[in-house]
Structure 1
Amino acid sequence: MSDTLTRATGIVFDLDGTLVDSTYVHTICWWEAIAQFGHERPMAVVHHAVGMGAGHLLEHVLGDVRDPGQDAAMSAAHDALFATWHERLHPFPAARSLLNWCRDAKLTVALATSSSSRDLWAMLDVLDHPDFDVVVTTDEARGSQAGGGLLESVLDRTGLEPEDLLVVGDSVWDMRAATRIGAPALGVATGGTSAPELHEAGAELTYPDLTALQRAMQDARAEALPPGYIP
């Protein structure tokens, strides 16, 4: 068993597609928002950009035809569409139990998300408002998830070193952001990105879902305990 899961003292979770089943909803909403401004892109292209943060997403999806002056309006269109889904969103199985287990294991638990404030609060409602030590949004960070700024802000606010922090996410952008700051990345294939894609993007370990991740963390911690240990 790799010591990746036992040497860390902190863990940071992405939100969309990692804790809450919202990646495909974002895909539809971005696809519709872009179409409102006369752009047609395959949903698959949009899906693979979800998780980058609005500015990077639009640049990635639209390329040379992007008009940065329309970014704010397209983002607002996406936000309005996504808000209509708030009451229909659900957490992934084991999301709440994994967060509770991390708390019981005395890990520093952080959330890093490029979601807007309105979407953030809606999804925290879905998760029954977990007790995060740190919550970092794009507004507070020095860039979006794709640039690593969110994770740098987590390090600043927790006082942890990169090697002390497990980064859990569902997209290649999460994995690349973790690699960029030198933190171990754990990929979960819950947002539609496959384990091989996550591994290629820098994931040290990958799991099909949060249930498997929680089981692996529990098993790793149990194996690391000295013989005869009684809590």
Structure 2
Amino acid sequence: MQNTRPGGRRNRGVLFDVDGTLIDSAYLHTIAWWQAFRQAGLDVPMASIHRSVGMGGANLLDNVLPGRDRSEDQAIMAAHGAVFSTFWPGLRAFDGARDLLAQCCESGLAVALASSARERDLDVLRSTLRADSFIHASTSANDAKESKPAPDILEAALRAVELHAADVVYVGDSVWDVYAAARLDIPTIGLTCGGTSAAELSEAGAVEIYSGPRELLENLRDSAIGKLARRPL
């Protein structure tokens, strides 16, 4: 867990998923898992993998390979990490991602990255965002016992910014994000830029849906985030 606290403590905030929400990486994770499965001699359709991206590794394996031989799990997860690292140089933030974090921070909200990425991946993701001056705290896989759809990562992010669930909004791109936040009664703004449809996000319980960070930023004043802000957006 990293805590930088630009501008001191805030009493309301926004939690952000990172992969597929702020960084265009959801399909890269899909390919990395697909290649990891192939290395293990397993043929798993990419569509099935993509629908599970957003979960942690162990939960993703449970979802796409029920009844499997678990003795290969660590090797598969290590292979996924190794393949994904080859994509690091090509990672890009979505249009408006940095500006969205900046606007949230400058409007008086705490900003936390509630990510279950491995710590070394998170360092690369943060470097890609180039928004550290607007981020109060961030979490990694090391901060949670269970991954999404369990709420552990969100609970860790709340602790990091010293806020309660009633004081925040969550922004994510997968149904697993929505399900995790719902466990804590945190409203989720869904973004379709990670490849999950608006219909799926709405059915999961997202309170608002936008195409990506730029559209959310353009509608921030009237969004669930705007209702939290202490200063005008």
Give the TM-score, by structure 2 length: 0.88
From 25, 29, 34, the equivalent of 1:22 is 25
Displacement after TM superposition at 1:129 (Å) = 4.4
Q: Deviations over 1:134-185 (max 9, x none)?
A: 1111211232122111011122232322121110000000000011111011
Aligned amino acid, residue 218 of structure 1: R
Q: What's the CA shift string for 1:105-127, capped at 9, x where partnerless?
A: 11010001121112111111111
1:99 equivalent to 2:101? Answer yes
Secondary structure at the residue paired with 1:110?
A: strand
**Residue pair 1:145, 1:151 contacting (<8 A) in 2 also:** no
Bigger radius of gyration: 1
Instruction: Report if the CA contact (8 A) 1:155-1:162 is conserved.
Output: yes
The aligned counterpart of 1:169 is 172
- Structure 1 distance, partners of 2:228, 2:110, is 19
The answer for the alignment partner of 2:39 in structure 1 is 36
* Aligned CA distance change for structure 1 residues 124 and 224 (closer, same or farther; 3 Å): closer
Given that 2:151 and 2:184 are in contact with CA atoms closer than 8 Å, whether structure 1 keeps it comes out as yes
Post-superposition Cα deviations, 1:48-102, rounded to whole Å, max 9, x if no partner, equal 00010100001101111x2222211111101111111100110000000001101
Q: 1:24 and 1:222, CA in 2 relative to 1: closer, same or farther beyond 3 A?
A: closer
Counterpart-to-counterpart distance in 2, 1:140 and 1:177: 15
Shift of 1:202: 1.4
Q: 1:230 to 1:95 in 2, by over 3 A?
A: closer
- Among residues 194, 211, 214, which one is paired with 1:211 in the alignment? 214
When the two chains are superposed, the root-mean-square deviation of aligned CA atoms in Å is 2.2
User: 1:219 offset after TM fit, Å?
Assistant: 4.4
- Is 2:112–2:137's contact at 8 Å kept on the other side of the alignment? yes
Residues 180 and 100 of structure 1, relative CA distance in 2, 3 Å threshold: same
Number of equivalent positions: 220
The 4+ residue runs of structure 1 with deviation greater than 6 A are 221-225
For residues 37 and 187 of structure 1, do their structure 2 counterparts lie closer, same or farther at Cα, with a shift above 3 Å needed? Answer: same
The 3 A distance-change label for structure 1 pair 230 and 179 is closer
Letter in 2 for 1:21: D
- Distance across 2 between alignment mates of 1:142 and 1:75: 16
Report the Cα distance in structure 2 between the residues aligned to 1:190 and 1:182, rounded to whole angstroms. 24
2:69 counterpart (59, 62, 67): 67
Q: Which moved more, 1:129-138 or 1:203-212?
A: 129-138
Letter in 2 for 1:33: A
TM-score w.r.t. the length of structure 1 is: 0.89
- The partner residue of 1:48 within 46, 51, 54 is 51
Q: What secondary structure, in the 3-state scheme, does the structure 2 residue paired with 1:92 have?
A: coil
Alignment of 1:143 with 2:137, yes or no, is no
State whether residues 195 and 206 of structure 1, in contact with CA within 8 Å, keep that contact through their aligned partners in structure 2. yes
